[in-house]
Amino acid sequence: MNIILTTLNAKYIHTNLALRCLKSYAEPEYSPLITEYTIKDPTFNIVADLYQKKPDIVGFSCYIWNIEETIKVIKILKTVDPNIKIILGGPEVSYDTNIWLRQVKEIDYIVVGEGELTFKELLNFLHGKQSLKNVPGVAYVKDDKFILNPLPKKLDLRESPSPFRFEEDLPTLSKRIVYIETSRGCPFSCQFCLSSIEVGVRYFNRDKVKEDIRFLMANGAKTIKFVDRTFNISRSYAMEMFQFLIDEHLPGVVFQFEITADIMRPEVIQFLNDNAPAGLFRFEIGVQSTNDLTNELVKRRQNFEKLKRTVTMVKSGGKIDQHLDLIAGLPEEDYDSFRNTFNEVFEMRPEELQLGFLKLLRGTGLRVEAEKYGYVYVDQAPYEIFSNNVLTFDDILRIKQVEDVLEKYWNAHRMDQTLEYLFDQTFDTPFDFFQQFGTFWEERNWSKIGHQLEDLFIRLNTFLEGIENLSLPVVQSVMKLDYLSKQKFQPRKPWWSNDITKEEQSTLYKQLVVNPSLAGDEFASLQMNERELYKQTFITPISICIDSFKQGIIKEKEGYLLTTFGNGPTPHFYFIEQNQQSHLIL
């Protein structure tokens, strides 16, 4: 029989680890073909590609982000060839299995939960080697009766074969994210998360994991993401793996982990700060909420003070980027409480802050208790809530406006100095800035159109023009610094209107040729002639003193910002006072 394992990834760069685990476990008796698509691929194209491979069996890996598109594919595929056996597996169909089988008649079998053993035994049945009733963990409908066979025992992960040795994967390893797991299960019981359902944590063989990582790096993998739900639950294990990765990593490889920050010991962080190369590791930390009652209701144990200690220590080390997550819509967290959560977490200035919205996933405790908290949602993936008893749909929409500009302006780090100035000088809290700007953004329908870097500066400037008690020339000066710091060459069309005439520019350049110390001794040491000035520098009026700004002090002073390009990876800034007195460099 011709067997295909497939899925619809969110993006091309993603890879599906589950399919590779199924394939490696099925071998050598069976050799499934793995073929991956994305949710953006046209449904007809996916069906046509699958059909032309002439499969007898097609297994789909299902998640909240792909289930709707997957069902479309299944229905058409079964229509064009009713003889194909359709098998589904994955977290999205492992719960409410009876509903899936009743609603989507084209599904023949569903593999429930951990799928390696069940899938292989199901293949044995389909090849006439055993009875269906003896296949553990499979769900199906027979004579209009729903049947779910008893689940199998958990696998001994130490004996699991490697899912990373398929030759067909090697050509694209450097272009895609490689997902790897060193453990399964989670010790916590957060009621919004599917991981809370599996009790206990099981580990793969450490030596095999290390060999897999060596193999992946040797074959070009650049981004390796650990999918362990809490990578650092065992301090000794995490330390061993960190040491291994530090010792044996290859240049250009990045490792990403999901960690629980409040259980990470200071000595572990200090070890990483002292020994990890910059950029080698990236941490993802789920904070979700700082509301104690909310955390208690969702059975989430979290010591926020220890979490802050970890995030702050890691950030001070300057070696590891951190991605922190929040969830809007958790029980008893109203708009004001979420604003407080946001500000408390943002105070740590994570490199990325992801603002998500509660999804009532099938199988989770919160979905069971949805009525208790007044949740309103549509029973269709991704099951995102619209409101609850303390958060209205209007509140949700307002927070989504925050999410939009947070991603574009903070997480992209296009103008950090400008944002810090606004947080400090103009807005009560960072959340208030993002909320007011986000609402302004939405009212102008900017979320519906594309943008380039210059557009982001122009739109922020447009917003700030309407803010009272704001020194617009000063903040525009900071915006100029942010913009120019991102340029490798002279900008041909900066975001601001031309604010210096050719005659004024020519006069300044002539003066700099005669007396380059007008821009400071360091600039004078460059010994630029007039032609080089025109070719390698950019000059614009500015309203702040550069040397004071470098020290974190905004001191208003009229002059010119002289930016030079080509003397290093980033531009250099020099200041010329209007009275032609020299000033220092950034």
185-216 per-position pLDDT tens digit: 988 999 999 887 777 899 999 999 999 999 99
DSSP lists the bridge partners of residue 562 as 539, 574
Q: Residue 191, by phi and psi: left (phi above 0), alpha (psi -120 to 50) or beta? A: alpha
pLDDT value for 85: 98
- What's CA 113's distance to the chain center, in Å? 25
Neighbours of 250 (CB within 10 A): 12
Neighbours of 314 (CB within 10 A): 24
pLDDT value for 548: 67
pLDDT value for 580: 52
pLDDT value for 585: 37
Distance CA 173, CA 224 (A): 10
Q: Which regions of the chain are under pLDDT 50? A: 581-586
pLDDT value for 583: 40
CA-wise closest residue to 364 among 229, 227, 201, 198: 198
pLDDT value for 582: 40
What are the strands of the beta sheet with 582-585, ordered from one edge? 537-544, 556-564, 572-577, 582-585
* Cβ-proximal residues to 354 (8 Å cutoff; 6+ apart), any chain: 323, 324, 325, 326, 411
Q: Which amino acid is at 154?
A: K
Distance CA 503, CA 164 (A): 64
Strands, E assignment, 168-241 = 177-180, 183-184, 202-203, 223-226
pLDDT value for 519: 87
Cβ atoms of residues 410 and 419 within 8 Å: yes
Strands 3-9 and 556-564: unpaired
Neighbours of 378 (CB within 10 A): 11
pLDDT value for 584: 35
Q: Which two tokens stand for residue 116?
A: 């390696």
